[in-house]
């Protein structure tokens, strides 16, 4: 339902008229004055909404898509318009694009900044949103989409985020061992902004309130003012920056964490080193070099070293190391071990730790090979 129409060749914004002007216009319209809808040129009429908002409406069968706009849409659009005006922005409603391909709900300009607000009560597909947003982008207009109940409506927006989350390596953080997936769980405005740079906010059209991931109920005028001050853009960017920082740390830490996970398997879960050392020792004791004092010493050291690497592993996963934390997760009997991505210096620490254990493992393999040689017949 439009706020705007053309009367006597002049554009009129209904709520901007004084009571007298509105009454006068109604009277003249009754006497036959033509009111033309600004959107499509169809004939229109005057009306006041239940909330007292003056507006125009299309004569029946206009076929105009703006005739279908809900009363919630009207009230929200009007509130945004009012707020922008009260902040001294040069404000237009139902503002057509240069090629008239689309009409934006509210368009506000100040000090060279151009901002557009789009109220989307009906569902919008991700493709349509992206296409329409692109049109503003090429004109250097900052667009803000108020999307009604977009939490529930579009899983596709989450799909944008999920595929972005997987990153260029195609590896999702959830597939990296010890990464807490909740680090990357976030809300719809981030699902849309982080992968596509499209600014949006959740809209509860019925209550005319907004919501974001961190704020379940945000007043419309308060939010509009935050947009105009640039704060909402900064909020979105801060979220994206935090995302990118975490994502980068995961990529950086992934090889060390994957390797660390292998150490868990070999040291804790399967006792692989113990078993292999035991086997080598038995063969050595049955072999020709069993009396070699240097090799005997090596056998003793091996066992101590395996204890050492076990302790080393445990010291890393203890809470006091600051590298890992145990977290109780719903639907899991036991707490899960997660790597603390931050501070960023933790990544260096786990890389160093893994490098130390790698070096130890290489020396362990060397020692086993030496023992093997000592166990072979004809050697010694």
Q: Using CB under 5 A as the criterion, which residues of the chain lie in contact with Zn ion when the complex forms? A: 37, 39-40, 64, 66
Contact 148, 73 (CB under 8 A): no
Helix axis angle for 345-375 and 272-286, nearest 10°, is 20
For Zn ion, give the closer residue by CB, 63 or 98.
63
Closest distance of CB 40 from Zn ion, Å? 3
| Shortest distance (Å) from residue 188 CB to Zn ion | 30
By beta-carbon proximity to Zn ion, the closer residue of 37 and 256 is 37
In the bound state with Zn ion, the residue whose beta carbon lies nearer, of 39 and 350, is 39
Distance in angstroms (rounded) separating the CA atoms of residues 73 and 50? 13
Distance of closest approach, residue 50 Cβ to Zn ion, in angstroms? 22
The region that residue 88 occupies, defined by phi over 0 for left and psi between -120 and 50 for alpha, beta otherwise, is left
Instruction: Give 213: exposed, middle or buried? Use CB within 10 Å, 0-12, 13-18, 19+.
Output: middle
Helix (H) or strand (E) holding 16: none
Q: State in angstroms the smallest separation of the CB of 44 from Zn ion.
A: 8
Minimum CB separation of residue 151 from Zn ion in Å reads: 31
Give min distance, CB of 36 to Zn ion, in A.
9
Separation CA 229–CA 35 (nearest Å): 37
> Which residue's beta carbon is nearest to the bound Zn ion?
64
* Angle (nearest 5°) at CA 37 between 32 and 42: 75
CA atoms within 13 A of residue 100's CA, in its CB half-sphere:
4
Q: Which is nearer to Zn ion, 56 or 284 (CB)?
A: 56
Environment class of 40 (CB within 10 Å of its CB; exposed 0-12, middle 13-18, buried 19+): middle
Least separation, in Å, of the C-beta of 99 and Zn ion?
Answer: 17
Question: Which CB, 39 or 267, lies closer to Zn ion?
Answer: 39
Which of 252, 150, 140, 250 is CA-nearest to residue 193? Answer: 150
Q: Which is nearer to Zn ion, 39 or 220 (CB)?
A: 39
Closer by beta carbon to Zn ion, 66 or else 364: 66
């Amino acid at each position: 339902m439009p706020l705007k129409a053309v009367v006597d060749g002049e554009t009129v914004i209904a709520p901007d008229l004084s009571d007298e002007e509105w009454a006068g216009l109604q009277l003249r319209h009754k006497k036959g004055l033509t009111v033309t809808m600004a959107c499509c040129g169809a004939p229109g009429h005057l009306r006041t909404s239940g909330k007292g908002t003056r507006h125009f409406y299309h004569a029946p069968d206009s076929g105009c898509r703006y005739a279908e706009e809900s009363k919630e849409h009207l009230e929200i659009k009007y509130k945004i318009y009012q707020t922008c005006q009260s902040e001294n922005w040069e404000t237009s409603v139902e503002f057509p694009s240069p090629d008239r391909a689309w009409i934006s709900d509210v368009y506000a300009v100040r000090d060279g900044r151009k901002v557009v607000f789009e109220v989307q009560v009906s569902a919008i597909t991700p493709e349509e949103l992206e296409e329409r947003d692109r049109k503003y982008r090429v004109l250097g207009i900052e667009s803000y989409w108020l999307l009604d109940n977009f939490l529930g409506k579009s899983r596709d927006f989450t799909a944008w985020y999920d595929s972005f989350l997987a990153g260029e390596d195609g590896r999702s953080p959830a597939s990296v061992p010890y990464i807490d997936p909740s680090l990357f769980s976030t809300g719809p405005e981030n699902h849309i902004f982080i992968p596509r740079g499209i600014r949006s906010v959740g809209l509860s059209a019925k209550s005319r309130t907004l919501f974001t991931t961190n704020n379940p109920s945000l007043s419309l005028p308060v939010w509009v003012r935050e947009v105009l001050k640039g704060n909402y853009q900064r909020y979105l960017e801060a979220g994206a920056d935090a995302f990118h920082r975490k994502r980068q740390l995961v990529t950086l830490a992934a090889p060390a964490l994957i390797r660390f996970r292998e150490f868990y398997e070999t040291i804790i879960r399967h006792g692989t080193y113990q078993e292999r050392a035991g086997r080598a020792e038995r063969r050595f004791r049955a072999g020709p070099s069993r009396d070699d004092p240097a090799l005997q010493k090596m056998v003793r050291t091996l066992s101590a070293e395996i204890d050492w690497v076990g302790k080393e592993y445990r010291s890393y996963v203890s809470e006091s190391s600051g590298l890992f934390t145990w977290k109780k997760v719903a639907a899991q009997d036991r707490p899960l071990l997660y790597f603390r991505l931050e501070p960023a210096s933790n990544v260096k620490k786990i890389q160093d730790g893994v490098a130390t254990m790698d070096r130890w493992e290489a020396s362990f393999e060397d020692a086993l090979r030496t023992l093997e040689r000592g166990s072979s017949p004809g050697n010694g």
